[in-house]
Amino acid sequence: MEHMEQRLIAWVEEQNENNVSITNSVVKEMAKQLYEDLRKSSAYIDVKPFSASCGWFDRFKRRHGLTSFSKSKTVDENSDTVSRSSIMGHMEQRLISWLEEQNENNVRVTNSTVKDMAKQLYEDLQKSNPDVDAKPFNASCGWFDRFKRRHGFTSFTNKSKTVDENCTLDNFMDAFRALINENSYSPKQVFNLQETELFWKRMPSKMFLSTDQESGIKSQNDHCTLLLGGNAAGDYRIKPLLVCHTDAPTVLLGSSEAHLPVIWRSSNTGFITAKIFGDYFVSQLHQELKAYCENEGLPFKILLLLDMDLAYPPNLVDLSNNIRVLFLPTKIPASIQPMDQGVITMFKSCYFHQLFTKLISGTEVKGESFATDFLNSFDLKMAIDVIAEAWTQLSEQVMREAWRQIWPEILEDSENYLINGDINGVRLSILDMAKAAGFTEVDERDVEDLIESHSFERSNDNSQEIKIEHEETGDSTSGSDQQIKEEHQIGTWNSASDSDQQIKEEHQIRIGNSASNNESVRTLSTETLFQICHLGDQMISLIDENDPDRERSSQVAIHFQNVLACYRELYREKIEHADHISANTFSIKYE
C-alpha cells in the first residue's frame, strides 16, 4: 500500500507538471491499476485486492496534504519562486522529520513544543525566501488540529504516532482475533465508527443550478461531517453524529435536540475535533451502547474499532471500563475498515436518491424551474431528515456484509452478498430521475462523481479565514490535551453520570436560549393536533373519491392512517388530560 501511494504521488506530480487535468475518479482508477501491478509481482502476491474506496481516498489525501489535483503537492526545490502554501508544506515536512528524530532519541515533546518548532521552521523558510509575500504564522490550534489529522498524529506525549510503523495486516488480525477470543465478544458487541464528509446540497455539475456550482466553487455552508457506524451483527446502526461549522441554525431553533434524528455538534471548521469526539464518547455513545446491551440482554462490554485518522483525545482508551478501543493502523489495507466496505457509499447513494425523489416529485408538476427553487429552499433541517431516512434504509445484510474482510468467520454460513450491485441500482435510479426531471445531459459518471466527490477542498483564503476564526474564538473546540484529560478522565462510569448530564444540559440550554431570542419553542397544541388529523382525513377522502384505482387508493389510505396514528394518540391523550383537569377543578370548586 505504501509503495503504491508513493508511485501514485509521483504520477500525480507528473500530470500536474504537464498541465494534464485529472479528477478524483481518474486518480482512484490509477491507484487500483498501480496496486494491481504491485500485487502481481512476486513480492506482493499474497496481498488482498484493493478497491480504492472513498474512505481510503479521503485518508490518502489527508496523509499527503492533498486538497485538489489541479496543482502538484510539492514544489521544485530549485524553483526561483515559492508560494505561501509551498512554505507551509515545506515547514510541515521538516516538522515531521524533526518529530521522527525526537522519537528515535526518546525525547519527550509536548503540543506547545511542537507548535514552537513549527513557528521557528516557518520563520526560517520565510527568511530564506524573502520574495514570498507570506503572512505571519502563529501555529494556531486550528492549524494544529488539521496538521495532526493530515499526517495521522494523535499524541506527542510519548511517541508521535500511537501505532507501530511496522504493524502488518497479519499482526493486526492476530491481535483482533485474540481480543475477540479472550473477552468472548459476540458480533453484537463489536462496533466500528467511521467519519465521512457530506455536501448535503450538492447536485451533478451538468445541472448548473447555481453560479457557484457552475464554476466549480464548493460552498462551506452546505458542508458537514458525519460519524456513522454499526455492529458486526448488522442489527444495530448507531445514531449519526453530525458536525457543522455553525451553532444551531435558524431552521432548528425551537426544536428539541434530544428528538433530532442525529446528534448535533458544531466546530469552526465543520470537522470532528478531539474535544467533540471526547464529549460524544463519554456521553452519547456510552449511553446508547449501554441501552442497546440492556435491551439485548448482553453484558455491557464493547469492542470499538476506530480509524487512526479520526480526531480523538489522547487518553481515549482510558475513558471507559466498558468500551475497549482498538485502532486500525494507517498502513494496513483500507479493505478491512468495515464502514468503508460499501456502507458509507450506500448511505450517500440513498441520501441523493431521497433528495432526487423529492426534487422530481415537484418537477413533474411545476417544470424544470422547480429544481432551482427546491434547492434554494432546501435547508439543513430538511437535510437532517433525509440523512436519517437514508441511514435507516441500509439493510441488516449490508451492515453485516461489511465485516466479511476483517471477521470472515461470522459470515461463513451466509452467501457472499454483492453490495456493489445494490449501489449501482440506486445510482441508475438517480440517473433516471435526473433525466425524467429534464436534465438529459447528466450521465452515469456525473452521478458517480456526485456521490464520491465529498472531500472538502479549502482554498488558501478559506484556510486563512478558518485560522483567524480559531484565533479570535480561542479555538474552544480544541483545547489542550491536559484540559481534555481533566474533562473526560473518569474512574467508573457511575461517577461520569453527573458530568454527562451537565454536558447535555449545557448544549440544550444553548439551543434553548437561541430559540428564545428568535422564536418560541415549538409545541403541539390540542388545536394544532386536531387540525393535523382533520387535514389528514380530508386528504384520504379526496383520494378515495377521485382515484379510479381502488387498490391504490386503499393502500394510500392505510399508509396515511398509520402515519397519523401517533398524532391521533397524542390528541386523545391531550383531550383526556384536559377533561381530567376540568373534572378536578369542578370538584374542588364545589366541594
378 with 500, same domain?
yes
As a whole number of angstroms, the distance between CA 326 and CA 174 comes to 13
Q: What is the pLDDT of residue 197?
A: 92
296 with 328, same domain?
yes
As a whole number of angstroms, the distance between CA 378 and CA 178 comes to 48
* Per-position pLDDT tens, the chain of length 591: 777 888 888 888 777 776 677 788 788 888 888 888 777 765 444 566 788 887 788 778 877 777 666 444 443 434 433 444 578 878 888 888 888 777 766 666 777 788 888 998 988 888 888 777 677 888 888 788 888 877 767 666 443 334 454 567 888 888 899 899 999 999 999 999 999 999 998 888 777 544 444 434 344 468 899 999 999 999 999 999 999 887 766 667 767 777 889 999 988 888 999 899 999 999 999 999 999 999 999 999 999 999 887 888 877 877 888 999 998 877 777 778 899 999 999 999 999 999 888 887 766 555 566 677 787 888 888 899 999 999 999 999 999 999 999 999 998 877 777 787 888 899 999 998 888 777 888 888 888 888 886 554 443 444 333 333 343 344 443 343 444 333 333 322 333 334 344 434 434 433 444 434 444 456 778 888 888 888 888 888 898 788 887 778 778 888 888 888 888 888 877 777 665 544 444 443 333
163 inside domain = no
* C-alpha cell read off for 460: 488558501
Q: What is the pLDDT of residue 343?
A: 94
467 inside domain = no
Q: What is the pLDDT of residue 475?
A: 42
Instruction: Work out the burial of residue 132: count CB atoms within 10 Å of its CB; fewer than 13 is exposed, 13-18 middle, 19 or more buried.
Output: middle
Which of 97, 122, 151 marks a domain boundary? 151
Residue 374 amino acid letter: F
Q: What is the pLDDT of residue 521?
A: 52
284 with 223, same domain?
yes
350 inside domain = yes
220 with 311, same domain?
yes
124 with 187, same domain?
no
202 with 257, same domain?
yes
Contact 236, 463 (CB under 8 A): no
482 inside domain = no
Q: What is the pLDDT of residue 41?
A: 65
* C-alpha cell read off for 178: 485474540
290 with 323, same domain?
yes
118 with 229, same domain?
no
Domain count, the chain: 3
414 with 559, same domain?
no
The residues, ordered by sequence, that sit 6+ positions from 464 with a Cβ below 8 Å of its Cβ are 135
SS3 14: helix
Residue whose C-alpha is closest to residue 449's, from 430, 422, 425: 430
Residue whose C-alpha is closest to residue 526's, from 577, 491, 484, 486: 577
Q: What is the pLDDT of residue 105?
A: 65
Residue whose C-alpha is closest to residue 139's, from 158, 108, 117, 107: 117
521 inside domain = no
Which of 93, 119, 151 marks a domain boundary? 151
204 with 111, same domain?
no
Q: What is the pLDDT of residue 366?
A: 59
16 inside domain = yes
Total Cβ atoms within 10 A of residue 537: 14
Q: What is the pLDDT of residue 560?
A: 82
106 with 212, same domain?
no
As a whole number of angstroms, the distance between CA 172 and CA 191 comes to 16
The pair phi, psi for residue 231, each rounded to 5°, is: -105, 170
Q: What is the pLDDT of residue 282?
A: 92
21 inside domain = yes
Residue whose C-alpha is closest to residue 136's, from 123, 117, 145: 123
Q: What is the pLDDT of residue 106?
A: 60
Which of 121, 151, 181 marks a domain boundary? 151
411 with 448, same domain?
yes
Helices vs strands, H then E, count in the chain: 21, 6
| Residue 556 lies in domain | 526-590
321 inside domain = yes
Q: What is the pLDDT of residue 332?
A: 72
Total Cβ atoms within 10 A of residue 204: 25
